[in-house]
Amino acid sequence: MADAGVTRARFPSLERRSLVYWTGDKGGPSISLVDTEVTSVIALSLANANRNQRLIEDARGLGLGVLLDGEAWRGQLAPDHRMRKSGTPAGLTAGEVVDPDAALFAREWRHAFTEAYVEALVVGGATILTTPGHFSLDPVGVARRNDLELARDMAAAVSRRRLTEPGPGDANAHARRLFATIAVQPSTLTDAAVDDLIAAYATLEDMDGFMMWAFKCGPSKRQFQLLRRLAVGLQAATGKPAVVGGLGQLWKLGLASGIAAVCFGHQRSQLAWPPPEQRPVEPGEKPKGRGVAIYHPGLLGGFRIGKLGVTQREAMFALSPCDCGHHAAGDPPEAQNDALAHNVAMTMSEARLAVTGTPSQALGRMLARAVSADRQRMLLRMGKLPSAWRLTLSDFPDLAQPAEERTS
């Protein structure tokens, strides 16, 4: 971890690209591994904030911002869904189900929902307040109009209550920020829809940035390019940073290519819809914990969980040892805590590479690594990297280098 006194932005910024690190529930031990030179913010679900207050306090003490995702989309799930039972969105009753595509939300309902929503974020300790966002297959339909109105209502509530000002008696007091949440499914995006989204969200006043969540994000060239165009288009149109979450292992490509920040970490690499239910435990069966997919930078990805990945994992670590310090260099981590610590270290290392230099320089290095990673994967009889990794610098005309940079 970098020295705690390092001066870093507490919020995503256009001036310097950064990582928004998703800690996962009970992610306290990982905070000591966070590199504060490349990480501006930690993030976690509002539903998990209460039992992670020590983590939040520690992060703020390190000068990191705290983004709490209120996950308004949980309100679209049936009351007996595991993610409703584990946390109903603030502002909703336990049995209330929201359908954002059905009709425009009633003004009175919006206001009551927004007041409760913003209050929960403040009480939870957020320094970045995010507006409610809902899942819809229609990128520019009724659900989008509902989310935009909720964003305006929330901006009004934040302004009226002066919530961007530090709270009284806060030992780590600093101003809060308000980011507009944009929930999209990349497979439904088109160039026209991206243009419409940029135009619509650029009209929002009193926003400090944008939090984009990509649901069911595929690793294709087309989906990545559309998501990136939406993020950098918003940045260009508003002069405000965009954060993108849900990119899976493409997060490094997004960060290197000029998106102000990406959100990535344990239990939030991607977002499925609907969120998967857990298989019921049979009588006498012990519940299984979540496996940890061990990452290796030489592959730009992780290994399969279970027996299929064991041989490949052992061969890769023997061929390319790891110096993270959380396990024997030539052997993959075996214990879950060691695997988690290894992955945090790898995330910080990859983030540092992605934010070093100009976007064209960082992206060039990343794409060159993809060529090498594909060769390694072939030797290990693993599948090739997804098509987004086969983009070239010519696919990013907005990152064309000035002549003096190309010759330096």
Are 211 and 347 in a shared domain?
no
Q: Give pLDDT, residue 165.
A: 81
CATH number of the domain at 243, please.
3.20.20.70
Q: Give pLDDT, residue 248.
A: 96
Q: What tokens were used for 323?
A: 């110096």
Q: Give pLDDT, residue 174.
A: 65
Are 346 and 201 in a shared domain?
no
State the residue range of the domain holding 213.
18-265
For residues 372 and 300, the answer to whether their CB atoms sit within 8 Å is no
Instruction: In whole angstroms, give the CA distance from residue 288 to residue 1.
Output: 32
Instruction: In whole angstroms, give the CA distance from residue 206 to residue 177.
Output: 9
For residue 258, is it within any domain?
Answer: yes
Instruction: In whole angstroms, give the CA distance from residue 338 to residue 325.
Output: 10
For residue 401, is it within any domain?
Answer: no
Kindly give the pairing relationship between strand 261-265 and strand 301-302: unpaired
For residue 299, is it within any domain?
Answer: yes
Q: Give pLDDT, residue 282.
A: 57
For residues 294 and 332, the answer to whether their CB atoms sit within 8 Å is yes
Are 260 and 317 in a shared domain?
no
Low-confidence residues of the chain: pLDDT under 50: 1-7, 403-408
Q: Give pLDDT, residue 27.
A: 82
Q: Give pLDDT, residue 2.
A: 42
Domain closes at, from 265, 284, 303: 265
Kindly give the pairing relationship between strand 261-265 and strand 295-296: unpaired
Closest CA to 12 of 181, 244, 292, 280: 244
Are 228 and 344 in a shared domain?
no
Are 115 and 179 in a shared domain?
yes
Instruction: In whole angstroms, give the CA distance from residue 5 to residue 24.
Output: 25
Instruction: Please name the residue that has the structure tokens 């009753």.
Output: 93
Domain closes at, from 265, 286, 316: 265
For residue 408, is it within any domain?
Answer: no
Q: Give pLDDT, residue 406.
A: 42
Q: Give pLDDT, residue 407.
A: 37
Instruction: In whole angstroms, give the CA distance from residue 197 to residue 321.
Output: 45
Instruction: In whole angstroms, give the CA distance from residue 242 to residue 14.
Output: 8
For residue 230, is it within any domain?
Answer: yes
Instruction: In whole angstroms, give the CA distance from residue 142 to residue 162.
Output: 30
Number of domains in the chain: 2
Q: Give pLDDT, residue 403.
A: 45
Which residues, in sequence order, are CB contacts of 359 under 8 Å at separation 6+?
Answer: 17, 256, 257, 258, 396, 399
Instruction: Please name the residue that has the structure tokens 């857990």.
Output: 278
Q: Give pLDDT, residue 307.
A: 75
For residue 76, is it within any domain?
Answer: yes
Are 153 and 196 in a shared domain?
yes
